[in-house]
Amino acid sequence: MTAPVKKNDRLTVDIEDLTHDGAGVAKINGYPLFVQGALPDEQVEIHVLKTLKNYGFAKIINIEIPSPDRVDATCPVYDQCGGCQLQHLSYAGQLKWKEKMVRDVMKRIGKIDVPILPVKGMENPWNYRNKAQIPFGVNGEAPIAGFYKTKSHAIVDTERCLIQTPEADAILEGLKPQLWKLGIKPYNEETKQGMLRHVVVRKARATEEVMVVLVTKKRKFPQAEEAVALIRKLIPNVKSIMQNINGENTNVIFGNETINLWGQDTIEDHIGDVRFEISARSFYQVNPIQTEVLYKQALDYANLTGEETVIDAYCGIGTISLFMAKKAKFVMGVEIVPQAIEDAKRNAKLNGLDNTYFEAGPAEEVIPRWYKEGKTADVLMVDPPRKGCDEALLNTILEQRPKRVVYVSCNPSTLARDLRILEDGGYKTKEVQPVDMFPHTGHCEAVAWLELV
């Protein structure tokens, strides 16, 4: 395809679609142009920035006909920050768009005709994130902290984040300006100098317990006592202050060593009536209100009577497994991160759920082995990462033929691809329920229910 437009062209286009990173899509004789910030149903005057063989990029010069769903972004740093992509679209508009996105991929990728229910959204879609990972840095002489720009490691300095907790804001507003007084230098990614890399703030919604983790370049931390005193003053409900040491030149936030500076090693949260102890590095869903909605939906689809054996593949710290274990005869969870499996076992004990078994390893190897050993399930639950289920796992499902599969997905495209494979192997997708776990971002979670036919 040759591009029908060239760099620096100015033209007026109709926006037809929206990508998950917040770009409007205009088509010129079938050639897609991505226009950052434009919304479907808008007519915009654009300036072409760059053209490649199969697609190009343009920026808005003027919105001639705005979408009825266009709103002013609430956050003052929305244009620079890479955290949110959809604040210029009303929340009702975001939910409509997420439903359409799921519908489109089911048709285009999955070639599946299935009822897709309206997205379950939040009543109040703000301050929902229970975990903030705040990068610290310096701008000239001033300490800065906030969030990264889109596809970049440049820090957008901010005092408040509208999707995070007030406790995270307390670190931005209270700790950042005190760093010089405490004698703590933020880490500078370019010079590799400085001490404080990230501050991670996690809040348990049910108990309101807070954990603060200071990620430092070195173990030696002479200002630790003063930092602890200040954090306790800024966040009265803090229950745990930890130090994690990351001396590597890497983008990964955490290093391997975590030490206790003050208080407990874990905080406790509840999802429904299941209790969880969460440690500094455990994976835990970031939107606790919607996690409950998601898990209830998954449980509904599993339709457990108390007689079923359930396999929970990609189980993390066993959150879904334990949620199911209250209603099932037996639950077996498998997860690739050994530490998460340790957490799952500990949390099973904490809840007195002895009808569970957890094993660390790749789901696509462990579940076929279980099958050979005669350990099978009536209901199979999968909750894979964005890339979807491993093919070997899908093949085992088709061989083993559990009567019901519940698929929790954070990526509608790979969900649609995998549902096609399961449908070809004898399953029927009965329903898909999208759940908005990440308001104002382009991410979309969905649960699919399949029955063997």
Q: Which stretch binds ligand SAH (CB under 6 A): 45-53, 204-212, 256-264, 358-366?
A: 358-366
The DSSP annotation for 356-421 comes to EEEEES-HHHHHHHHHHTT---SEEEE---TT---HHHHHHHHHH--SEEEEEES-HHHHHHHHHH
CA geometry: angle at 249 spanning 245 and 251, to 5°? Answer: 85
Distance, CA of 373 to CA of 369 (rounded, Å): 6
Bridge partners, 143 (sequence order): 138
Contact between 118 and ligand SAH per CB under 6 A: no
Q: Which stretches of 280-367 are assigned E, i.e. beta strand?
A: 309-313, 330-335, 356-360
Binds ligand SAH (CB under 6 A): choice among 319, 356, 396, 413: 319
Contact between 335 and ligand SAH per CB under 6 A: yes
Binds ligand SAH (CB under 6 A): choice among 83, 135, 316, 412: 316
Question: Using an 8 Å Cβ cutoff, are 24 and 40 in contact?
Answer: yes
Q: Which of residues 363-382 bind ligand SAH (CB under 6 A)?
A: 363-364
Question: Using an 8 Å Cβ cutoff, are 429 and 402 in contact?
Answer: no
Q: What x/- string results for residues 272 through 311 when contact with ligand SAH is judged by CB under 6 A?
A: -----------x-x--------------------------
Mapped onto helix, strand or coil, the DSSP state of residue 420 is helix
Q: Find the shortest distance in angstroms from Cβ 339 to ligand SAH.
A: 10
Number of residues engaging ligand SAH in binding (CB under 6 A) = 19
CB atoms within 10 A of CB 138: 19
Catalytic, 410? Answer: yes
Q: Which stretch binds ligand SAH (CB under 6 A): 106-114, 229-237, 335-343, 394-402?
A: 335-343
Which residue among 75, 84, 315, 410 is the active-site one?
Answer: 410
Contact between 362 and ligand SAH per CB under 6 A: yes
Contact between 433 and ligand SAH per CB under 6 A: no
Binds ligand SAH (CB under 6 A): choice among 26, 215, 320, 397: 320
Binding-site entries for S-adenosyl-L-methionine: 285, 314, 335, 383
Question: Using an 8 Å Cβ cutoff, are 428 and 450 in contact?
Answer: yes
CA proximity to 427, closest of 409, 445, 401, 388 = 401
Active-site positions read: 410
- Interface with ligand SAH (CB under 6 A): 283, 285, 314-316, 319-320, 334-337, 340, 362-364, 383-385, 390
